[in-house]
Amino acid sequence: MNAASIAKKPTIQKRTVVRGRLPNANYRTREYLTEREGERLMKAAGDNRHGHRDATMILLAFRHGLRASELCLLRWEQVDLAHGRLHVSRVKNGMPSVHPLTGTELRALRRLQREQEPGRYLFMSERGPPMSAVGFRRMMGRLGKAAKMPFPVHPHMLRHACGFKLANDGQDTRALQHHLGHKHPAHGPIYRALAQTVPGLLEGLGIRLRDAPQLAAGSWAHGAPDERWPCPYPTIALGLPRGLGAKAAT
C-alpha cells in the first residue's frame, strides 16, 4: 500500500444519484383533457404560424385516439377523402383499424392538402421533413401555456381524452378497445371506470340521474353532446371541437 492511499481520508458522504423526474401526480392532477380544454388548445393553435396544421393535428389525435408517433407518421395514402375513411396504423403492436372521417375533418384535411407543399406525410414541418413526435410534444406544451391550462399538457392526454369521452358516452368495452387499437381487453375497463364511478357517487349523494339529462347521457364531464358534427360511424361518435382555431377556421 502506497503513501497516497494511506493519506486519503475515507468518504463519509453518501453519494446517491438524484432522481431526475418525479411521478406524474407531482406535475398534474389528471392525464386526460375534456372537450372544452381541447377546444381551448385548438383556439390557441390558431395564433401559430401554421395554425391550421396544428389545430388539425389536435383534432385528429383526439377523434381517433392517436399517439404522437402515430399522428406524425400519418400518410396521405391512409386518408380516403372520397369515402371519408382513415386507415389507422398502430404502434406498440396495436390493432390497425379503419375510422370514419367527419365533415369537419374532411374539410380540414382538404384545406391542409391545398395549402402545404406536396408530400407523402400529412403534417410537414417548415424544413421539409414530417413533424416529429418530439416537435409535437413541444408544441402541445407551448399551447397549454398559451391556453392558460392549469397543468402541463402533453400529446398523450388527447388519446386518454378520447378513451374517457367514449366511455362517458356509454360505449361498450369492445368498441372502445377496437377504436383505440388495444389488443388486450384489460385496457378498456380503465376508461369505463370513470364513467361508472362518478354517476354512482352522485346517486349516493342523492342526485338522481333522471333529473340531470347530461349525466344520464354519460357526458357529465363534457356537457351536453354536440350534434352539429354527427359521425357516420355506427357505434362511436365524438363531439370535440367546433372549429379549428380563431385564425385557422375556414
On whether the CB atoms of residues 247 and 115 are closer than 8 A, the answer is no
On whether the CB atoms of residues 66 and 159 are closer than 8 A, the answer is yes
Q: Is 40 a catalytic residue?
A: no
CA 98 distance to own-chain centroid: 18
Positive or negative CA dihedral for 112, 113, 118, 124? positive
Q: Is 159 a catalytic residue?
A: yes
Q: Is 191 a catalytic residue?
A: yes
Residue 103 grid coordinates: 365533415
Catalytic residue among 111, 142, 156, 187: 156
Of 57, 214, 207, which is closest to residue 139 (Cα–Cα)? 57
Catalytic residue among 67, 154, 192, 222: 67
Give the torsion through C-alpha atoms of 164, 101, 156, 142, to 10 deg. -120
Catalytic residue among 43, 90, 182, 222: 182
Catalytic residue among 53, 90, 99, 159: 159
Give the torsion through C-alpha atoms of 101, 103, 106, 110, to 10 deg. 180
Q: Is 67 a catalytic residue?
A: yes
Cα 61 to Cα 17, 66, 182, 186: the distances in Å are 37, 5, 16, 22
Catalytic residue among 36, 92, 138, 208: 92
Rg of the chain taking only CA atoms, in angstroms: 22
Catalytic residue among 50, 53, 90, 191: 191
How far apart are the C-alpha atoms of 158 and 61, rounded to whole Å? 6
Provide the β-strand partners of residue 100. Answer: 85
Residues taking part in catalysis: 67, 92, 156, 159, 182, 191
